[in-house]
Amino acid sequence: MPGKIARSWNDGGIDDFLEYLDPDVEWRPTAEGPLAGVYRGHDGARDYVGRLREVFDEMSIEPLEVIDVDDNHVIVVNRIIARSESSGMELDAKWAYLTTLGPNKKVVRFETFTDKAQALEAAGLRE
């Protein structure tokens, strides 16, 4: 599923992306980032993605590694590539997402970390 989510993010737009998120999804961006906080539901996801798109004109994700934690939790390490034409700012980073799936197998929680070790620790695992 991480590949499908990435393709929907990269190619399909917000509505395609939301197909993979539970209507009550909780999204927690990195605590270190300027958009830190909690975004709830599809409206919250739209708000967060909209804020990202205000900063970055171009943005794509590439899944690099998938770690099955248990039946409901997956860690996905993504390469994030983003660029802002107006500021010239560029981002090329690896972030890890601890993803929780609900009974409907849609994402009910995204927790974003700036490195894999943090995500593993949050899931109660070690490298």
Those residues with Cβ within 8 angstroms of residue 95's Cβ, 6 or more apart along the chain or in another chain:
30, 77, 78, 80, 112, 113, 114, 115
User: How, if at all, do strands 58-70 and 73-83 pair?
Assistant: antiparallel
| Ordered per-residue pLDDT tens for the chain, 127 residues | 667 887 888 786 788 889 999 999 999 998 887 789 999 999 999 999 888 888 888 889 999 999 999 999 999 999 999 998 888 889 899 999 999 999 999 999 999 999 999 999 999 998 7
d(CA 95, CA 82): 13
What is the pTM assigned to this prediction? 0.88
Specify which residues 94 forms β-bridges with: 79
Specify which residues 113 forms β-bridges with: 96
6's tokens: 């990435």
Q: Report the CATH number of the 2-122 domain.
A: 3.10.450.50
